[in-house]
Amino acid sequence: MTQRTLVLLKPDTVRRGLVGEVIGRVERKAGWAITALELRTLDRETLERHYGEHVGKPFYEPLVAFMSSGPVVALVVEGERVIEGVRQLAGPTDPIAAAPGSVRGDFGTIVRENLIHASDSPESAERELKIFFPGIA
Ligand code: RTP
Ligand code: MG
């Protein structure tokens, strides 16, 4: 089942020089392909659309401040079961709970600064791809 997903390498990944490390893990998965890639700094409006489900939660404002604190790398990844696959590669939200071997488990400690976003369902992927890459969605 070929799918498309939206991946964001968060500002901590860019600041720490881990972009190549994380993209390398995606590239090495059999049959997956990066079909779009852009470095960009996100504004509040874009983040409100992207993280709409979290507006009003206690962590929302710190999340927006973090996510707009520097550039992110936005990618479209296509391939076999890629939506579930990148979520697995990322690991759970809390990096301390994430297993070593996952991106968050290998490189993170703080829940907010957890390195990577990946769409969590086909519906989320469709919605998020339209926000970040309207030309291809
Ligand atoms: P994401 O949407 O970024 O891929 O992460 P996720 O699905 O694993 O987690 P989600 O629940 O959607 O939360 C979105 C992002 O908000 C930050 N967060 N901080 N309690 C907290 O301080 C808290 N909870 C969540 C994280 O950056 C999380 O990835
Ligand atoms: Mg999420």
Spell out the domain ranges in the chain.
Answer: 2-132
Calpha distance 117→119 (Å, rounded): 7
Calpha distance 109→94 (Å, rounded): 8
**Tens-place pLDDT, residues 107-136:** 999 999 999 999 999 999 999 999 999 988
**Tens-place pLDDT, residues 61-79:** 999 999 999 999 999 999 9
The label of the residue with tokens 């507006």 reads 55
Phi, psi of 90 (to 5 degrees): -75, -45
From 117, 118, 119, 132, the catalytic residue? 117
CA of 31 to the centre of ligand 1 (A): 28
Average pLDDT over residues 34-55: 98
Other CB atoms closer than 10 Å to residue 111's CB: what's the count? 15
Average pLDDT over residues 43-48: 98
**Is the CATH number 1.10.287.130 carried by domain 2-132?**
no
Q: Which residues pair with 118 in a beta bridge?
A: 7
What does the mean pLDDT of the chain come to? 98
Calpha distance 33→77 (Å, rounded): 6
Q: Which ligand is nearest to the CA of 92?
A: 1
Stated pTM of the model: 0.97
pLDDT, residue 137, reads 56
